Structures are given as structure tokens and as C-alpha cells.
Amino acid sequence: MSGAKGKILRFFISFAAIGLIIFFMRGKLHEAMAILRHEVVWAWFAASIATYFVGLAILAVRLQWVFKVQNIRMTFRECYHLGFVGLFYNLMLPSSVGGDVVKAFYAYRHSGKKIESATSILLDRLLGFVALITMAGIGLMCFTKEADSAYIDYAVYGACGVLVFAVAFFASRRFARLFKGLAHFIPKEKWKLQLAEIYHAIYGYRHHQGPVLMAILLSFIGQAVFISSNYFLSLSIGADINFWKFFILIPVISIVSMAPSIGGLGVREASVLYLFGRYLSPERALALTLLMDVVIYSFSIGSGIWYAFRGGLKPKAFDEMEILQSPKE
């Protein structure tokens, strides 16, 4: 799919989802806003914000561990900055340059190692996915009656299937060779070589079990912290939902948010309304959705302001990121 068509599809999905939310919740917006104006317990809201900062810090430490394997030396402060910049690009810019591309670009500028930087960011994302899906799977097995939805079952088990495939593919060359024939669908020989380099670089992480295990542990801790942040938000509007249910619901929402869209806009809100609407009144579920958006987009906008003051958002750098993402002839 071309870049232009991809942008159109993302815009369409996001605004179609928003349109449906407005249509079905049109009678509840006034009540939801009343909840936000009069019922929010700001101490819990502040706890959610603080926890979000902690979660980003944990992910920054994880990225440091992943970089170490490729001998990319970046300080905690630099990795923390990368996390905020990636958040800004993921949510606020409707372009083909995503947060992962930005992280890889700055890691490459810092280290001069293009493949190693891209591989590290890809593995960092994969490790986050491992923790997210594993927690959702365990939560579903332990609280399957609490989930009370076949759609949740399908989403979690489907994601678990994708996870098992990805881990097997990158951990076993024998398994990966079963799909060698798919290389015929890659039109350029140079692209095949670049993908092979990335595959072997990720495969090489199996010889660095210490850093990988530490990164996986940090992934679980980080995801638990972000889930706690959302739980605190629910407490701030007086929602009475079992804490452990969030270990099923939030990972499912994260999975759905990966669908083609503008940074998850629309699909994320729709999934929050659907899943939490099973435990909350429609107006309170809508209030929680809006509060989640306030936190997410406040961090994103704040990240963009910080990024701009540090010399970011330059057209030249943006063009270089576009080039880095696009395979060269």
C-alpha cells in the first residue's frame, strides 16, 4: 500500500470510529462532562500522571539494556527523551514517520549504526508486545468468567498466536526457513539483504540472555505500571472495577489501538467504551475514555513542546526520517 493510500486509510478509520462514537454516545456527552467537572478526585488523577512518568522511565531503562547488546551507549536521560519524542510522533503527526522510526533515526545519528539501531528499536517493541500479551493471556486464564466476552477471548488468543509465531520465527532459524519462499514476494534484492541483516541481528540476541531477560523483566514491570495508571484514572471518577480486570482490558485496548489509524485515535476510544461499558454506565465509561485521552494527549503535546525547544521539528530531520523509513532503490 502506498504512503498516500495508507494515510487516507488511517484518516478514514479514525474519523469513522469517532463519528460512530459521537452518534451512539450523543445523549451521554453532557452527563460525562458533568462527571469530569464535579466528580473527579484529583489526588487519584495526580497519582495516574505520576505513575505514567514512572512507566516511561522504566521503558527508558529497558531500551538502554537492548542498546547495550549492539554496543550503542545512550544515557538514561537520552533514552527517556527518546520515549517522549516517540510518543509525540506516534500520536500527533499523521505522517508515515512513526515513533519507532524516530527512535531508530536518533539512535543511528548517535551511534552511526543503522541496522543495529533499527534492530534494537524493533526488539524493544517486540519485548513490550511479549509482556503485554503474556499478561493478557494469564489474566484471561485466571479471570475468564470475569471477562465475559467472546470478543475479548478472540482478541487475546489471536494476539497470543501472533506472539508465539514471532518468538519462534526470530528464535529458531529452522522454523524461519519454513517461510523462506515468501522472499520471492520482495521485489528488490537490496530489500531482501536488509531484511536478512535485521533478522540475523535479532537472532543474535539469543546469545545475550542476561540483557534480554532483564529487558523482558522491565517490560512486565513497565506494563504493570501503565495498567496501574489507568486503574488510578478509573478510581478518580469513582469507578468500582476490580484491579485485576485491568490486566485483561488494557492489553486488549492496546492491541486494538495498533489497527491502522492516526495514532490509535478513534479505535482506542471505541474499544475503551465497549470494554469498560460492560462494567460502567455509558456516561461514566465515556468520562473514563475522555480522561484517558486527556492523559495521553497531554503527554504527547508536552513531549512535542519539549522536543521543539530542544531543536526538534526541523524539516531537514523530518525528511531524513522519511528517507530512513523508505527502502532505497
Q: Is the CB of residue 249 less than 8 Å from the CB of residue 242?
A: no
Identify the band that residue 314 occupies on the pLDDT scale cut at 50, 70 and 90. Answer: low
The pLDDT value recorded for residue 220 is 94
**Domain count of the fold of the chain:** 1
For the stretch 60-109, pLDDT in tens is 999 999 999 888 999 999 999 999 988 888 876 655 457 788 888 889 88
The pLDDT value recorded for residue 92 is 66
3-state SS of the chain: helix, strand, coil percent to 5?
A: 80, 0, 20
Alpha-carbon gap, residue 57 to 163, rounded angstroms: 25
The pLDDT value recorded for residue 329 is 44
317 or 219, which is more confident?
219
How would you class 124 by CB atoms within 10 Å of its CB: exposed for 0-12, middle for 13-18, buried for 19 or more? buried
**What DSSP character marks residue 259?**
S
Residues recorded for the chain: 329
Alpha-carbon gap, residue 28 to 182, rounded angstroms: 49
For the stretch 244-285, pLDDT in tens is 889 888 988 888 888 888 888 899 999 999 889 989 999 999
CB-CB neighbours of 315 under 10 Å: 7
Domain span at residue 286 reads 3-325
For the stretch 157-172, pLDDT in tens is 888 888 889 888 888 8
For the record, the C-alpha cell of 174 comes out as: 529452522
Counting residues of the chain whose pLDDT is more than 70, the rounded percentage is 88
Closest CA to 56 of 136, 128, 139: 128
